[in-house]
């Protein structure tokens, strides 16, 4: 890869007042990021605005210095830069309307050449049963040869990655921040596991914090890499529906698990099913859509939460609840509840406070 072209791509990548589709249009018209910068006045006249970085006019010398630093940072830490138009850049992603000019990659980039990448998305504050289903579907699809793509968020994303890795399969995490930034911090264990056994990807410059408006951009990459998308649990305002919308625009297969009629938590799922998304219930349904053999369900004893643990988490909800309250609601011996709570604490799913009061933690579900 030509060093000057990499530096030009890093500079263009930091321009914040141009959308991904505008940047790609300029790249298509000029043929390279280097030519965009060498003919900057002409490029800026197309959209009638100067290139800016966080509100400040782009200054080539300062931007080049930053790009040199960014390139050195990546080389020191084994972060690869995949530039559009090169052999390593994922072909499937390059075909969407607004592909990123580059991707920062950490891990097994060979996964991008796999034939079946499949996205699993859903709520951060997901129900216990949805967490179990995300885990088991990702596990079974991985055993069937699919690579699971998700966003390393809490809830559904976390357990989709976990199900893939615990089955011995592979997973790709698309970040809404710089590839060197771990978010949420509670997911550092999964970040490190994917770095070693899967692939981390980000289009955002090194050091970029997890700003709210980054995540819709991130979502188009989840769908853009994937042959299909599964929405596990989504309300009407869930970011998972943004991913599903991108997937539809990109010509991907969109699937959703059905929810109970009138359920706010599944209103997004039911809506997109009515709009034409495939209703699926398990990994076998998904394999059938892709006409591949399903490896079959695994041992459900390995699910994140047992039936009792699901019931306990439902009782706790978003409140501070005593062990006596849990016992009254479940009519289960306190010894079994105490054992389950200990396991939930070890998983990081609940936190205990004085007087044996518990609250639920949503970082991992």
Last residue of one domain, picked from the residues 252, 272, 300: 300
Tell how strand 253-256 and strand 56-57 pair up. unpaired
Mean pLDDT, the chain, whole residue set: 92
Residues 242 and 317 in one domain: no
Q: Round to whole Å and give the CA distance between 119 and 131.
A: 15
Residues 45 and 175 in one domain: no
> Quick check: bond before 184 cis, omega within 30?
yes
Inside any domain, residue 207: yes
User: Mind listing the pLDDT tens digit for each residue in 149-167?
Assistant: 999 998 999 999 999 999 9
Last residue of one domain, picked from the residues 275, 300, 325: 300
Model pLDDT, residue 300? 60
Residues 267 and 126 in one domain: yes
The DSSP annotation for 76-132 comes to: HTT-EEEETTSTTS-HHHHTSSS--SEEEEEE-GGGGG-S-EEEEE--SS--HHHHH
Residues 256 and 160 in one domain: yes
Inside any domain, residue 89: no
Inside any domain, residue 129: yes
Inside any domain, residue 91: no
H-helix segments, 20-59: 20-30, 33-38, 40-47
Residue 355 tokens read as: 């007087």
Residues 230 and 290 in one domain: yes
Q: Pick the closest to residue 110 from 175, 172, 190 (CA basis).
A: 172
CATH assignment at residue 267: 3.40.50.450
First and final C-alpha spacing in the chain:
41
Inside any domain, residue 105: no
Q: Pick the closest to residue 252 from 151, 350, 116 (CA basis).
A: 116
Side-chain half-sphere CA neighbours of 37 within 13 A: 21
User: Mind listing the pLDDT tens digit for each residue in 46-67?
Assistant: 999 999 999 999 999 999 999 9
Model pLDDT, residue 362? 66
User: Mind listing the pLDDT tens digit for each residue in 268-313?
Assistant: 999 999 999 999 999 999 999 999 999 866 556 567 777 788 788 8
Q: Round to whole Å and give the CA distance between 271 and 144.
A: 29
Secondary structure element (H or E) that encloses residue 141, with its range: helix 128-143
Tell how strand 147-150 and strand 253-256 pair up. unpaired
Please state the rounded mean pLDDT for residues 75-93: 95
Residue 29 tokens read as: 């018209």
Residues 239 and 127 in one domain: yes
Inside any domain, residue 289: yes
User: Mind listing the pLDDT tens digit for each residue in 3-59?
Assistant: 999 999 999 999 999 999 999 999 999 999 999 999 999 999 999 999 999 999 999
Cβ(312)–Cβ(336) below 8 Å: no
The range of the structural domain enclosing residue 27 comes to: 3-77
Last residue of one domain, picked from the residues 281, 300, 319: 300
Most confident of 230-244, 286-300, 308-322, 325-339: 230-244
Look at the chain and report how many structural domains it folds into. Answer: 3
Residues 318 and 250 in one domain: no
The residues with which 269 forms a beta bridge, in sequence order, are: none
pTM score of the predicted model? 0.87
Model pLDDT, residue 346? 78
Residues 292 and 330 in one domain: no
Residues 191 and 332 in one domain: no
Residues 197 and 288 in one domain: yes
Inside any domain, residue 93: no
Inside any domain, residue 28: yes
User: Mind listing the pLDDT tens digit for each residue in 103-152?
Assistant: 999 999 999 998 899 999 999 888 888 999 999 999 999 999 999 999 99
Residues 209 and 336 in one domain: no
DSSP state of 150: E
Residues 169 and 263 in one domain: yes
CATH assignment at residue 354: 1.10.10.10
């Amino acid at each position: 890869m030509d060093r000057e072209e990499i530096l030009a791509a890093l500079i263009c990548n930091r321009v914040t007042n141009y959308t991904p589709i505008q940047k790609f249009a300029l790249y298509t018209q000029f043929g390279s990021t280097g030519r965009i910068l060498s003919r900057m006045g002409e490029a800026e006249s197309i959209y009638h605005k100067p290139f800016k970085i966080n509100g400040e006019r782009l200054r080539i010398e300062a931007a080049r210095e930053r790009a040199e630093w960014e390139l050195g940072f990546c080389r020191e830490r084994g972060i690869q830069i995949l530039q559009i138009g090169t052999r390593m850049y994922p072909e499937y992603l390059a075909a969407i309307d607004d592909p990123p000019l580059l991707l920062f990659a950490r891990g097994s980039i060979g996964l991008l050449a796999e034939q079946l990448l499949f996205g699993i998305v859903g709520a951060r504050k997901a129900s216990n049963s949805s967490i179990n289903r995300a885990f088991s579907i990702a596990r079974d699809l991985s055993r069937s040869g699919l690579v699971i793509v998700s966003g390393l968020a809490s809830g559904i994303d976390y357990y989709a990655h976990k199900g893939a890795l615990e089955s011995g399969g592979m997973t790709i995490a698309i970040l809404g921040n710089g590839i060197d930034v771990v978010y949420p911090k509670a997911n550092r264990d999964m970040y490190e596991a994917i770095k070693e056994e899967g692939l981390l990807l980000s289009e955002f410059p090194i050091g970029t914090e997890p700003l709210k408006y980054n995540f819709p951009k991130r979502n188009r990459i989840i769908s853009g890499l994937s042959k299909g998308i599964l929405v596990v649990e989504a309300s009407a305002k869930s970011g998972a529906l943004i991913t599903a919308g991108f997937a539809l625009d990109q010509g991907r297969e969109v699937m959703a698990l059905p929810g109970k009629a009138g359920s706010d938590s599944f209103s997004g799922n039911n809506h997109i099913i009515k709009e034409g998304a495939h209703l699926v219930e398990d990994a076998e349904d998904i394999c059938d859509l892709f006409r591949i053999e399903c490896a079959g369900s695994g041992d459900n004893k390995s699910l994140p939460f047992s039936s009792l643990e699901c019931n306990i988490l439902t009782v706790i909800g978003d409140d501070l609840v005593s062990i006596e309250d849990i016992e009254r609601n479940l009519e289960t011996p306190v010894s079994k509840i105490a054992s389950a709570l200990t396991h939930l604490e070890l998983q990081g799913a609940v936190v205990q406070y004085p007087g044996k009061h518990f609250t639920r933690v949503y970082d991992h579900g």
